[in-house]
Amino acid sequence: MHTRSQMNIVIVGHVDHGKSTVIGRLLADTGSLPEGKLDAVRESCRRNSKPFEYAFLLDALKDEQSQGITIDTARCFFKTAYRDYIIIDAPGHIEFLKNMITGASRAEAALLVIDAHEGIRENSKRHGHMVAMLGVRQVTVLVNKMDLADYRQADFEALKEEYTAYLRQIDVEPVSFIPVSAREGDNIASPSPAMPWYEGPTVLGQLDRFRSGGELRDKPFRLPVQDIYKFTQSGDDRRIVAGTIEAGTVAAGEEVLFLPSGKRSSIASIESFNTPVKHSAEAGEASGFTLATQIYIRPGELMVRPSDPQPEVGTRFRANIFWVGRVPMSPEKEYKLKLGTARATVRLAGIVSTLDASDLRLSRTKQQLDNRDVGECILETTRPIAFDLASTSETTGRFVIVDNYEIAGGGIVLENLSGGETILERHIRERESHWETGNVLAADRERANRHRAKFIVITGPPHTGKRALARELESLLFRNACSTYYLGMAAIEHGLEADLRRHGDHAEERLRRIGELARIMTDAGQIFITAIDDADDRDIETLKLLNEPNEILVVGVGENDFVSTTPDLDIDSIDDLFLAVSRIAELLASKEIISDYQI
Amino acid sequence: MNHLDKLEAQSVYILREAYREFKSLCMLWSIGKDSTVLLWLARKAFFGHVPIPLVHIDTHFKIPEMIEYRDRMALEWNLNMIYGENREAVVAKQTFPDGNTDRITCCRHLKSEALKRTLSGEWPRYRMNHDLKRYEPDEKNEPYTGVIVGVRADEEGSRSKERYFSPRDSGNSWDVGDQPPEFWNQFKTDFAPGTHVRIHPLLDWTELNIWEYIERENIPIVSLYFDRGEGTRYRSLGCWPCTNPIESSSRTLSEIIDELGSGSLAGVAERSGRAQDKEDGGLETLRRDGYM
């Protein structure tokens, strides 16, 4: 069994500064090319009367040759005596920034190539910035084409000084600078006789000095829940919480906490297929757990250890975003946020500043993020999510933004700003300030109806008889002369919600509409009843807010999913419909919604 | 974690991501070593189960042992096994072995076209009935919007440019020049109606990694990969008229691993035994058109 380690390296830099030549050299000088490939390319160059270049070795696709530029992230494999490398060739052409990001996202270290002759160009700067934002901490700068600068130390030192000053402004400290000529092979695999003044490592030597992984293991435990599996049909009763551990370690028997729901349990077992029994798992493992207690959790929660430093939970945060969407990011639109395994609807609530990464010019006046902008922004999600600040836990502190099916931006979280007014609270404040009432007052309706208005939400798992209960409650109240209405979900599905049906996930918008409807119906003095499957704390909180200033009453049927919500009434099961309805009626009477003599 | 643990974890993450995000998902199983490792990784991801249908395109020219192996494993591992085919081309003998087309056109008919129409649900699909142990026409014909494929970046030039999640338009074509970005472990899991996404969990694996993993996990694979006394073995499997064995006397997994490690095959491309690659345009032309 080979136990050699493997490392992903990305190579970036301005177009024509020689990345492909560096890679071609690395492949050739480490003997990683298929036999005869080098000769074949040389021969083809000779036949076409063009000078041989190492870069031609990489031209695997026809497109590349015709356009003369690297069009996409290509991977090359080579090895040194120490370990195996995957070198990711990220295009230097500005049009292909998306590909550069893709390449750099997967890398543990970066080689940034600058042409000694041409000097620092736009993408030398932009790529330096991007690589840092993407979390690549080890950067070595290759000052290429030293042969064109007659191998002068002064040229190398001047460029090194200038670029170091630039990197310092964005808090990046390069591991090293190496003067090379990829074309001539200087300082690539062996030290250059033409530059005796340089005493540092060759490029290959530097690659072997980069450190690989490790630190994540020692951080607080973080597991974004990717999915919950239960393969009952195949005769497997395990309920497995699955996900990849982003940081830290965890062992069977340990207490765990799920955020944002706040639910707790402990790990009963660590599950795996075709391995010896596992008692612990660590960062990097795609793992699975069974829990000691039955709790209902959803994909997207963050599983942590209660005794560890806690992640942030909130709906509003400050972040650095780089935008690569064709359409600008605008405060007018809703986007989908993907952070860890969490998905949320998100809005751009404000732009603090934008940075033109090519010249580091700050602007505080932009109203949107254009393609290739880097911006410090305020984002707001409609639901709370759990996350870390990128400065404390990188892997759980970064996210992407999806616009019209495409990943259009990525970012890192700088600060949790939650606690202020949420989008929903602001919406309700604005709605209420504009609310128009007629001449009939709520008190007038109460007097006439002889009862108060109320929004009654009956919730619990599917198929527990909630709808029958809701309908029976409506009948009882109606027979007793109450103004009441039961809203069935099917009634709005093809009407009020018809425009939503072509959208995949519209649970949040559906909830909003029900809440707005409740606000109107309770304003009309009704006892407005509805039944909702598996509402969680957040759903109830949303409905409660939307129905304000009117009142809500929550009836839980069967097992519920609440941590912070205490239902006004809990009904274990509806075996006796009459009894269950009576209990709700009694509660309404005790709360003086209706009077005793009405039932 | 060693390098195989890391590769396994990344592939499992991708498989789980695909299973979570795509309602209509399938996995292509060519019976070869790569997609068999992929199938094994699915059992890893889902704790012994494979909750994703496996689709095989039967060209009717596969080496017979491959089909026999496919059905044996389907029953043993309780797989939701489906196959599709280009019935029309086979019946009309519009194939290379029948002498009526060149190799590339034959691939187009029996593989690309059959695959396209099977994935879209336009052509019949046949599903293994585990009780009767035979295939029956499948009633479900909804298009698959997520297709998991076992391609590796090191196999061949055009495959080195793939993303983990790679969108294909309604015509199955691949716009190499304008692919979505993949930030960290966030992939393209949203897709417009009429398009689908190809998912590539094995992208970072090398040929050597595949064999190391098969050995470590003791994964049963079709015996055509081993020398069975003739001094030859298959390195890449396909249709018998266009697939040739390589000269090699490796009889066991460890001998294959040593052979790859020794560099004796370094000068020979992995797919060198696949004749269609050598025709004009080769694999890249085929891949643009929906070939795997």
* pLDDT score of A62 more than 60: no
Residue A472 has a pLDDT of 94
User: Do B91 and B131 share a domain, yes or no?
Assistant: yes
Substitution target in A226, A273, A334 with the highest count of B β-carbons within 10 Å is A273
Per-residue DSSP letter, B243: B
Give the separation between CA B124 and CA A89, rounded to whole angstroms. 42
Residue A316: both structure tokens together = 């509003």
> Which positions 6-65 of A are in contact with B (Cβ < 8 Å)?
6, 34-36, 60-63
* pLDDT score of A573 more than 50: yes
Substitution target in A274, A275, A289, A396 with the highest count of B β-carbons within 10 Å is A274
Mean pLDDT of chain A: 87
Residue among B6, B183, B284 minimizing CB distance to A407? B183
Answer yes or no: do B182 and A105 touch at CB < 8 A.
Answer: yes
User: Do B37 and B109 share a domain, yes or no?
Assistant: yes
Q: Between residues B112 and A290, which one has the greater pLDDT?
A: A290
**Strand pairing partners for A407?**
A402
* pLDDT score of A194 more than 70: yes
Per-residue DSSP letter, B181: P
* pLDDT score of A68 more than 50: no
Dihedrals φ, ψ of A280, to 5°? -150, 165
Mean pLDDT of A192-209: 94
CB neighbours (10 Å) of residue A53? Answer: 17
Mean pLDDT of A452-460: 94
Ordered structural domains, chain A, with CATH: 6-213 (3.40.50.300), 221-304 (2.40.30.10), 312-420 (2.40.30.10), 425-598 (3.40.50.300)
Residue A69: pLDDT band by 50, 70, 90 thresholds?
A: very low
Residue A490: pLDDT band by 50, 70, 90 thresholds?
A: confident
Please tell me the distance in Å from A457's CA to the nearest CA on chain B: 30
Residue A101 has a pLDDT of 84
Q: What is the ipTM of this complex?
A: 0.92
pLDDT tens, position by position, for chain B (292 residues)? 888 999 999 999 999 999 999 989 999 999 999 999 999 999 999 999 999 999 999 999 888 899 999 999 999 999 999 999 999 998 998 888 888 888 888 988 899 899 999 999 999 999 999 999 999 999 988 999 999 999 987 776 566 677 899 888 766 666 666 778 888 889 999 888 878 899 999 998 988 999 999 999 999 999 999 998 899 999 988 888 888 899 999 999 999 999 988 877 766 777 777 777 766 566 666 666 666 6
User: Do B76 and B27 share a domain, yes or no?
Assistant: yes
User: Do B24 and B134 share a domain, yes or no?
Assistant: yes
Tens digits of residue pLDDT in B114-127: 999 999 999 999 99
Mean pLDDT of A573-581: 90
Residue A66 has a pLDDT of 37
Residue A106 has a pLDDT of 82
Tens digits of residue pLDDT in B17-51: 999 999 899 999 999 999 999 999 999 999 999 99
**Strand pairing partners for A415?**
A318
Residue A357 has a pLDDT of 62
Dihedrals φ, ψ of A174, to 5°? -70, 150
If we measure between CA atoms, which residue out of A327, A326, A368 comes closest to residue A348? A368
Tens digits of residue pLDDT in A368-403: 999 888 889 999 998 889 999 988 888 899 999 999
Residue B85 has a pLDDT of 94
B-chain residues near A30 (CB < 8 A): none
* pLDDT score of A67 more than 60: no
Residue A170: pLDDT band by 50, 70, 90 thresholds?
A: confident
Mean pLDDT of A218-224: 94
* pLDDT score of A578 more than 80: yes
Substitution target in A400, A401, A403, A503 with the highest count of B β-carbons within 10 Å is A400
Q: How does DSSP assign A456-490, residue by residue?
A: EEEEESTTSSHHHHHHHHHHHHHHTT--EEEE-HH
Q: Which of A144-148, A199-203, A307-311, A360-364 has the lowest mean pLDDT?
A: A360-364
* pLDDT score of A320 more than 60: yes
A-chain residues near B180 (CB < 8 A): 98, 406-407
Residue B283 has a pLDDT of 66
| Residue type, position B164, single letter | Y
Residue A64 has a pLDDT of 38
Mean pLDDT of A49-56: 80
Answer yes or no: do A101 and B8 touch at CB < 8 A.
Answer: no
Angle, helices B207-217/B3-21, rounded to nearest 10 degrees: 90
Residue among A4, A74, A405 minimizing CB distance to B191? A405
User: Do B211 and B129 share a domain, yes or no?
Assistant: no
| Residue type, position B232, single letter | T
Q: Which of A48-62, A226-240, A290-304, B44-58 has the lowest mean pLDDT?
A: A48-62
Q: Output the domain CATH number for residue B90.
A: 3.40.50.620
Answer yes or no: do B161 and A4 touch at CB < 8 A.
Answer: no
Mean pLDDT of A159-170: 90
Give the separation between CA A493 and CA A500, rounded to whole angstroms. 9
* pLDDT score of A63 more than 50: no
Residue A218 has a pLDDT of 87
Q: How does DSSP assign B104-130, residue by residue?
A: HHHHIIIIIIHHHHHHHTSS--EEEET
Residue A127: pLDDT band by 50, 70, 90 thresholds?
A: confident
Give the separation between CA A225 and CA B276, rounded to whole angstroms. 44
Cβ pairs bridging A and B (under 8 Å) = 158
- Tell the burial category of A236 from Cβ atoms under 10 Å away from its Cβ (0-12, 13-18, 19+): middle
Domains contained in chain B, number:
2
Taking the CA atoms of residue B212, residue B213, residue B215 and residue B217 in that order, the dihedral angle to the nearest 10 degrees is 160
Q: Between residues A99 and A109, which one has the greater pLDDT?
A: A109
Residue B67: both structure tokens together = 């089909």
User: Do B181 and B36 share a domain, yes or no?
Assistant: yes
Q: β-strand A552-557 against A569-571: which pairing, if any?
A: parallel
User: Do B138 and B98 share a domain, yes or no?
Assistant: yes
Residue A257: pLDDT band by 50, 70, 90 thresholds?
A: very high
Give the separation between CA B143 and CA B124, rounded to whole angstroms. 12
Q: Are A244 and A235 in contact (CB under 8 A)?
A: no
* pLDDT score of A60 more than 60: no
* pLDDT score of A289 more than 90: yes
Residue A217: both structure tokens together = 């293991």
Residue B271 lies in domain:
207-276
Q: Are A488 and A529 in contact (CB under 8 A)?
A: no
User: Do B44 and B184 share a domain, yes or no?
Assistant: yes
Residue A515: pLDDT band by 50, 70, 90 thresholds?
A: very high
User: Do B119 and B193 share a domain, yes or no?
Assistant: yes
Helix (H) or strand (E) holding A157: helix A153-169
B-chain residues near A290 (CB < 8 A): none
User: Do B64 and B195 share a domain, yes or no?
Assistant: yes
Q: How much of chain A, in percent, has pLDDT values that exceed 70? A: 92
3-state secondary structure of B91: helix
Residues with Cβ within 8 Å of residue B138, at least 6 apart in sequence: B82, B124, B125, B126, B127
Tens digits of residue pLDDT in A402-453: 998 999 999 999 999 987 677 788 788 888 888 888 899 888 999 999 999 9
Residue B289 has a pLDDT of 65
If we measure between CA atoms, which residue out of A437, A450, A453 comes closest to residue A552? A453
User: Do B73 and B199 share a domain, yes or no?
Assistant: yes
Mean pLDDT of A254-280: 94
Helix (H) or strand (E) holding A158: helix A153-169
Residue among B186, B206, B217 minimizing CB distance to A338? B186
* pLDDT score of A21 more than 70: yes
Residue A497: pLDDT band by 50, 70, 90 thresholds?
A: confident
Substitution target in A407, A501, A502, A505 with the highest count of B β-carbons within 10 Å is A407
* pLDDT score of A1 more than 60: no
- For B218, the closest chain A residue by CA position comes to A274
User: Do B94 and B219 share a domain, yes or no?
Assistant: no
